[in-house]
Chains A and B, each alone.
Chain A
C-alpha cells in the first residue's frame, strides 16, 4: 500500500467527524486539499527538493490521530515550566494538536488582539479568518501542506489589529503527550495588520517516549509597516518526526524575523517560504541546529523578492556530531522588476566526525539587473590551532570544543531580538553541547 493511502482512507472514512470538530473556515478547504494530496502524493527522494528526507517512509507507520478531539489527560502547566528566566510572556499551550483552553493566562493583551485557539477564533471571526487561512500555504503546491489542511482541526491564532503594539511576547508551547504513537496536525495563523507589532515564541516539547509525527503549517501575514518576530525552538525527542512549513507574506515596509532553532529532535524537515510583496520590506531568516547520534534536520527555504527595494538576510548554521545528517537548500528568487534588491545568504556547518553528513545547496535565481546578492557556504571542522591554543591554557579539549561550538552558533543567537531569550539560548546551546540537554528542564520525563 502506498503511504498516502492510509491518510486518504482516514479522511474519507472519518470526514464527518473531522468536520464536526472543526470550524467552517477550515472545513471549506478540505475537499480541495484531498484532491491536491491525491494528485501530488508525497514527494519522493528523487525529487530535487526532498533528496535527503524520505517522506513516504516517515509517514508510513500507523499513528493514532485524535479526530474525535478526546481530552488528553494532561495539565501542561505541570509538565512544562518555561525555563527562560526574566522572560515574561503570555503563555499558551497546544496539546498534540488541540488548543488547551482550560487555563488561559490572565489577559495582558491590548484591546482587539486575539491570541488563542484556532477553532474558537474562526467561529467568532469567520470573515477575518477566511481572508487569510490557507492563502499563504497553498495545498496545490505541497503534499504535506495539503495533508495538513485536509486533517487539521485546530491550532493557534495571533491576530493584531491596525497599529496595535503587543509589548509582551506571546509564547506558545506545543506539548506532545500521548501513551500511544500519535500524529498531530497543527496550524498556526498570524495576522498583523498595518503597523502592528508582536513577537511569538513557539516551543516544541515531547514529554512521552512514544513516537510522534507532526505536520505543522504556519502562516504569517505582515501588513504594511508591521513588525514581527517568530522564534521556533524545537526541543522534542529522538522519536519525534516533524514536518513544518512557515509561509510568510510581507507587505511594504514590514519587518519580519524568523529564527528556527533545533536543539533536540529526531527527524525534522523545516520549509520556509517568504514572499516580499511590498517595497522596503525586510526579512531576516535564520536558524541553527545541533545534531548528534542519528538526528536529522533538513532545511529548505525559498525567498521571493517580488518588488523593488526589499532586503533579505539569511543565515543557517549546523553542528553535526556522530552520524547526524543535515541538509540545507536555500533558494532566492529575485523577480525581473525587483530592482535594488539586497539578498544575502549564508550557510555554515561544522562536522565533528567523519560519519556526520551535511548537504548544502545554495540557489540564486536573479532576473533583475540592479541588485546586491551574495551567498556563501562552508562545511568544515573545528579549528585545530584554536583548540590547541586553548588546551595550552589548561582548558580541556572537550571544553575547548564546546567553547568553539558555542562561538560558532553565536551569530544566530545574536539575531534574537528578545534579550532574555538570547541569554537563555546561550546557556541552552552550551548545555546542549555539554550533552546535558537530553530534554528541556521543564519536561517531566527528564526530572
Chain B
C-alpha cells in the first residue's frame, strides 16, 4: 500500500529525514517510536504534503501512485489521512459544513453525487457514536474551544467519516487522560479492516496497549534504525532509548 524509498526532507534548509525506507501493507498496523526530535512528525507531515517541508530525495508510492506529486487534497482523496498532533481551530466554519465539504469532495473524486442532507446527518450521527463525540461539538466551529481530548476525538471522528485506506496517527495519545485514550483507541480499532492500514506515531507503549501493532520501528536521527515485532515496544518502554543509541555506537 505504502512504499517509502530513501526519503530525505528538509525544513528551513535543515535535513530532518535522512533516508527513510518503510513498507506498509493492507491490514497492517505499524508503530513508529523514537525519542524527541528524531523526525517522527516530519515524516507524517511530509507524507500528507505540508508545504513547510521540502523533499530533497527519494520516492513514496501510495497504491502505486507517486504520492509526492499529489496536492494535499488529492492525497486525502486517494485515501491518506493524518490525525494531527495539534489539530487546527477554524473559527466560523462549522463542523457540519467542514465535514460535508470534505465528504463531498471525496465523493466527487470517486465520481459520485454529493451526499443528500438527510444521509449526511445520518452518517454524522453514526460516526460520532464511534468516538462518543457530543452532538454539541459537532455543531460548533471546527475545534474551536475544544479541549485537548475533544480535539483528538474529533480527529478520529473525521477519520471515521472519510474512511481512509491509510491512517497516520501522530501522537494521538498526547494530552489524553486514560479514559479519553481508551475512547480514541477503541474508535481506531473499530475502524480497522483487513483492507486498510495504520501508522501509529507515539513516544509511549501506553497507546500500543490498546492499538496492537504488527510491526514496530524506531526512528532515530532521521533514519529507521530498528524494526521488529510488538515486543520491541515493550523493550523500549522498559529500557528507554539509550540502548538504541548505544547500539548506534554513541555514548
Binding site for B on A (CB under 8 A): 383, 385-386, 388-397, 399, 403-404, 406-408, 410-411
Contact = CB atoms under 8 A, between A and B. Distances in A.
A391 B73 contact: yes
Contacts of B97: 403
A396 B105 contact: yes
Contacts of A397: 71, 73
Given A388-B50, A388-B72, A395 B101 contact: yes
The number of chain B residues touching the other chain, given as a range, is 20 to 34
Nearest to A414: B92
Contacts of A410: 92
B117 interface: no
A404 B101 contact: no
A410 B141 CA distance: 12
Given A388-B50, A388-B51, A403-B101, A395 B93 contact: no
Contact of B102 (A383, A386, A388, A393): A393
B92 A408 contact: yes
B91 interface: yes
B162 A393 contact: yes
B60 to A, nearest CB: 16
A395 B105 CA distance: 6
A394 B109 contact: yes
A44 B38 CA distance: 63
Contacts of A403: 93, 97-98, 101
Nearest to A403: B93
Given A399-B101, A403-B101, A391 B76 contact: yes
Interface in B70-110: 71-73, 75-77, 82, 84, 87-93, 97-98, 101-102, 105-106, 109
A392 B158 CA distance: 11
Contacts of B29: none
B98 A385 contact: no
Interface in B29-56: 48-51
Select the residue from B77, B82, B90 with max chain A CB neighbours within 10 A.
Answer: B90
A407 B93 contact: yes
Contacts of B72: 388, 391-392
Nearest to A385: B88
Nearest to B50: A388
B105 to A, nearest CB: 5
A404 B87 contact: no
Contacts of B48: 392
3 pairs of A and B residues whose beta carbons are closest in the complex:
A407-B92, A394-B76, A389-B88
Interface string B101-128: 1100110010000000000000000000
Contact of A407 (B82, B84, B90, B158): B90
Nearest to B97: A403
Contacts of B93: 386, 403-404, 406-407
A309 B102 CA distance: 48
A270 B235 CA distance: 71
Contacts of A411: 92
Contacts of A407: 90-93, 141
A390 to B, nearest CB: 7
A394 B100 CA distance: 11
A193 to B, nearest CB: 39
B96 to A, nearest CB: 12
